[in-house]
């Protein structure tokens, strides 16, 4: 039996299989509001047969957007727009849905990625960015404003309120974004956190604000809603955040009933030295799983069924996250199930698409 296609539970939420569609920014919102693009995009992914769909990084306040076109969940109107999209998806798909809540910190206020160019200044439609310290991501960016106590409390409350909104409109799980060089990752890494108060210096201090955010979100939601986190397990820069520190962070999260940890890497510094290759991040997930006991999602150039199967079957991770390959092939889980002799849930309108000679694929 394929291990990739066995059920798995994260807290009280049971997934049909171990395939997780990882968050993928679409840069297609209007003032934070979900649009018809999201309805079409998420609708096709919800027909894919994956075990869980985590929608894109969603800003908890306007200043937390990566770009002006980022999805947001900070007001009644952004909540209503996203609720409409989720209602449409729910009408035709029973796939569990999670949302990734984040704040870009010093990496906010950027142009659309397909436009390119330096960070946007206020005269170009950008805004003042914030961060743990007044250290910019690169020399071309404006200097971020170091968060004071009032700013920290504002951001923490924004995470809580966004999580409550997400629960209200029917998301099954929450993923807190503490990876890829965004705000919570900026607190963790000594490369971006030069504070001298209780939020900087030692690893315990650098973990303090991300853990406070996790605690506050966890406390604000019913126990029936799993709350997990995505981290970058290493900065890939000497002297930065690394796997050993990530293990300590994961152990602290495990004590707080974190439902899962989604293990990525990099994104904090333009000096990072990464050589991407198939499974290059899987050892990071495997170590965190072994040393923290947390359920893990492994990611990183996972593109074929046998590769994903081996990750789960060999105990390197509990789930496998796929992202870019899903954009290229939105029915990737169907094709993986066909290769591995498994079944997936698909709409009955699509059942007759099964190729001749393939075992009973759809259920």
Residues 6+ apart with CB under 8 A from 209: 132, 152, 156, 184, 187, 199
Phi, psi of 124 (to 5 degrees): -100, 10
Select which of 8, 27, 92, 182 is catalytic. Answer: 182
Cα distances from 355 to residues 44, 334, 338, 359, in angstroms, run: 20, 11, 10, 9
In angstroms, rounded to a whole number, what is the distance separating the alpha carbons of residues 119 and 126?
A: 8
Q: Closest by alpha carbon to 192, among 105, 283, 297, 70?
A: 105
> Is the Cβ–Cβ distance between 107 and 64 less than 8 Å?
no
> Could you confirm whether 182 is annotated as catalytic?
yes
Tokens of 263: 């293990």
47 Cβ contact list (under 8 Å, min separation 6): 92, 93, 330, 331, 346, 347, 350
**Residues designated catalytic:** 182
């Amino acid at each position: 039996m394929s291990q990739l296609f066995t059920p798995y539970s994260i807290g009280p939420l049971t997934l049909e299989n171990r395939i997780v569609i990882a968050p993928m920014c679409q840069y297609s919102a209007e003032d934070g509001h979900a649009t018809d693009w999201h309805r079409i995009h998420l609708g096709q992914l919800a027909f894919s047969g994956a075990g869980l769909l985590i929608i894109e990084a969603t800003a908890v306040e306007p200043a937390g957007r990566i770009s002006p076109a980022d999805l947001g969940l900070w007001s009644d109107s952004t909540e209503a727009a996203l609720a409409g999209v989720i209602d449409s998806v729910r009408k035709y798909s029973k796939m569990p849905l999670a949302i990734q809540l984040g704040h870009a910190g010093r990496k906010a206020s950027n142009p659309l990625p397909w436009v390119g160019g330096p960070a946007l200044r206020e005269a170009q439609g950008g805004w003042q960015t914030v961060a743990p310290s007044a250290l910019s991501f690169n020399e071309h960016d404006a200097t971020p404003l170091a968060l004071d106590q009032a700013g920290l409390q504002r951001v923490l409350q924004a995470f809580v309120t966004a999580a409550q909104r997400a629960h209200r409109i029917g998301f099954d799980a929450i993923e807190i974004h503490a990876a890829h060089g965004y705000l919570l990752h900026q607190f963790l890494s000594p490369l971006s956190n030069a504070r001298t108060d209780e939020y900087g210096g030692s690893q315990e201090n650098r973990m303090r604000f991300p853990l406070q955010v996790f605690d506050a979100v966890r406390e604000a939601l019913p126990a029936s809603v799993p709350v997990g986190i995505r981290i970058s397990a290493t900065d890939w820069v000497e002297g930065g955040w690394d796997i050993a520190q990530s293990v300590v962070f994961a152990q602290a999260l495990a004590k707080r009933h974190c439902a899962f940890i989604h293990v990525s890497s990099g994104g904090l510094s333009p000096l990072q030295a990464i050589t991407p290759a198939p499974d290059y991040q899987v050892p990071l997930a495997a170590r965190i799983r072994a040393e923290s006991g947390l359920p893990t999602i492994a990611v990183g150039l996972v593109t074929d069924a046998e590769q994903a199967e081996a990750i789960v079957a060999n105990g390197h991770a509990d789930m496998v996250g796929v992202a870019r390959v899903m954009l290229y092939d939105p029915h990737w889980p169907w094709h993986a199930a066909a290769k591995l002799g498994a079944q997936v849930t698909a709409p009955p309108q699509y059942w007759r698409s099964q190729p001749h000679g393939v075992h009973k694929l759809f259920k």
